[in-house]
Each structure stands twice: as C-alpha cells, then as structure tokens.
Amino acid sequence: MPPPVKMFVIDIDGTLLPSAGTRISSRNIRALREAEAAGLEIAIATGRRQAYAAPLMAPVELKPETVMITSNGSVTRTLGGAAIDRFTLPAETARALCPALRPLGSTVFTFDREGSGEMVLECIERLHPRMALWVEANRDSIREVRPLERAFDSGEEPVQGMVCGTVAEMRRAEEWLAASGLAPRIAVHRTEYEARDLTILDILPPGCSKGAALRRLARQRGIAREEIVAMGDNWNDLEMLESAGRAIVMANGAPDLVIEARRRGWAVAASNDEDGVGQILESVLAGFRVSGMVE
C-alpha cells in the first residue's frame, strides 16, 4: 500500500487558474478548502512574486500558515507573510547579466519589496507584445531604469531576473546562457507558451527552483517525498514534479512536457479549464473517506 498523501504542492498559472481570467473556479476553491480541512498541507508554488500571487489566493481563504513558494523558488513565505526562505542574485551578477541579456530580449529584474521599483526594466515598449496584460497588471510596480545596470547602484540585490521573447529566441538564449561564463552564477528556468509563441526565462540565484524550495519545506515539515503530490503545467515546474512522490501534469501543459510526463509514467490530469486540480483533490479525499481517514 502506498504511503498516505500529506502535502499537495500546486502551481498557479495554467494549473490552478483557468486559461482566461484570474479567478480560481468554485470547484477548485471548494476542493482546496476540503483538502485543508482534512489535514492535507497545501503549498502554492508559482513564478509570480508574492504581491502578484497572494491576491489570487485570497478568495480560497486558506489558513495564514499556508506556504507560498514564489519567484520560481527564490522566496518562500506563508500567506500571512511570515518569512521562511529568501535567496538573491548578487548585485554584481545582476549587473553582469544586463549587457549579456540585452541582445537576447526584454529583461526585467524583481526585488523583494512592494511598490514602484519592485520591478525594473529599461523600456516597457520593448517587452514582447503578448506581455501586455502582465504590464497592465503590474504597471504600478514597474520602473524604467536606463541603462538597466544603474538599478543595482545601491547594492540592493534582486530575487529574480526575467527575459522574454519568442519560443525560438528564448531557446537560443537558454542555450547561450548555459554555455556562457555566467552559467555557474545563475539558475535558469523556462516557461513556454507554444500557442502564443512566447517564452519566459527566469534567471534565479544558483540552486533555486520550485523543486529545491519544496525539498527544503518537506524536510522542515518531516514529510517524505512519497507523501507529496505536485501539480504543474510547464517546464519551470519540472524540478518540483521530480521532487514529489506523485507528479501530475495538466493536460493543457506545454506539449513536450505532457509527452515527457507520459514517457515517465506520470499522471496527466484534466485541463485547468476542466478543474483538473479540483478533480485530483476530490479523488484523493474520496480515498481518505474510504480508508476512514476523514468523515
């Protein structure tokens, strides 16, 4: 008999959220609440920064102690704001990235604070046109700095860098970064939207990922890998999925990740628009009821 599930770690965009809009479905909300009430630990893991992610989770009304892994693993806090982990890119590394990334695409750096200047870039207009909704949602937090190297004059260190462009451009950029002298000083994670011809490369402090953050959290909680279920839809979720005893990829996920999931024998859930998260949680809770673990 497999060990009981104790923790669910769930991505937001493309997993918990529908394809259109920023409201978690009523079915997913109900399932999350019931899972928490049954004693399952829910952790949210996202590429978004905390200030951009927490409002999406507010309608679910999870307990304040619920953990949020944000900025793709650079920062971990509770929903209530209690700090758990935070890692930053040294200012000299961030400064060196500026000229290296400039020819590759539009670059954004994120600092772990709220308000104007939380995110800095050189020119909003240079961002990939399919990032327009992101720009509008984050405009109050964005500040333009020219040249971008000046953003680190104070010595403040960012938690995350981001460069975005077409799928082909960012695959070339990822290959270039992996072969560059910067590679030992950073971690790179790809989020790819083939249908939109858009890819985001997140550039993090070395060793940072959703998976690394999950492993630290599991050790702190005394939860074994076999007792964790992880759900995601894109390549930035890969290490998180590998760090769980049960990995589940959404049917709407990056096409080559869905293929890889089936090759590895991982489950493929119903799509985000079919409340795949809710369906999986309901099935786990039904198993709990059969075993008598919940009433």
How do the pLDDT tens digits run along the chain, 295 residues long? 466 899 999 999 999 999 999 999 999 999 999 999 999 999 999 999 999 999 999 999 999 999 999 999 999 999 999 999 999 999 999 999 999 999 988 899 999 988 889 999 999 888 878 788 888 889 999 999 999 999 999 999 999 999 999 999 999 999 999 999 999 999 999 999 999 999 999 999 999 999 999 999 999 999 999 999 999 999 999 999 999 999 999 999 999 999 999 999 999 999 999 999 999 999 999 986 555 444 3
The residue among 204, 227, 260 that closes a domain is 204
Residue 156 belongs to a domain: yes
pTM of the model: 0.94
Residues 36 and 75 in one domain: yes
The residue among 145, 176, 204 that closes a domain is 204
Radius of gyration of the chain (CA): 19
Beta bridge partners of 69: 45, 76
Chain centre distance of CA 69: 7
Residue 2 belongs to a domain: no
Q: In this structure, what token pair is assigned to residue 292?
A: 């008598």
Residue 1 belongs to a domain: no
Residues 194 and 174 in one domain: yes
Residue 104 belongs to a domain: yes
Residues 232 and 268 in one domain: yes
Residue 231 belongs to a domain: yes
pLDDT value, residue 126:
83
Residues 62 and 80 in one domain: yes
Residue 275 belongs to a domain: yes
Residues 51 and 102 in one domain: no
Residues 216 and 154 in one domain: no
Residue 54 belongs to a domain: yes
Residues 38 and 168 in one domain: no
Residues 220 and 80 in one domain: yes
| Tally of domains within the chain | 2
Residues 36 and 100 in one domain: no
Residues 133 and 72 in one domain: no
pLDDT value, residue 106:
84
Burial label, 232 (beta-carbon count in 10 A; 0-12, 13-18, 19+): buried
pLDDT value, residue 294:
44
- Assign residue 67 the CATH number of its domain: 3.40.50.1000
Residues 146 and 187 in one domain: yes
User: Do residues 70 and 53 lie in contact, with contact meaning Cβ atoms separated by under 8 Å?
Assistant: yes
Residues 232 and 277 in one domain: yes
pLDDT value, residue 2:
64
Residue 124 belongs to a domain: yes
Distance CA 14, CA 40 (A): 22
The residue among 181, 204, 227 that closes a domain is 204
Chain centre distance of CA 234: 9
Which residues, other chains included, contact 125 with Cβ-Cβ below 8 Å and sequence gap of 6+? none
Distance CA 231, CA 241 (A): 7
pLDDT value, residue 288:
66
Sequence-ordered alpha helix ranges (H) in the chain: 26-37, 50-57, 91-101, 132-138, 167-179, 210-221, 238-242, 255-264, 276-291
Residue-number span of the structural domain to which 244 is assigned: 7-86+208-291
- Assign residue 181 the CATH number of its domain: 3.30.1240.10
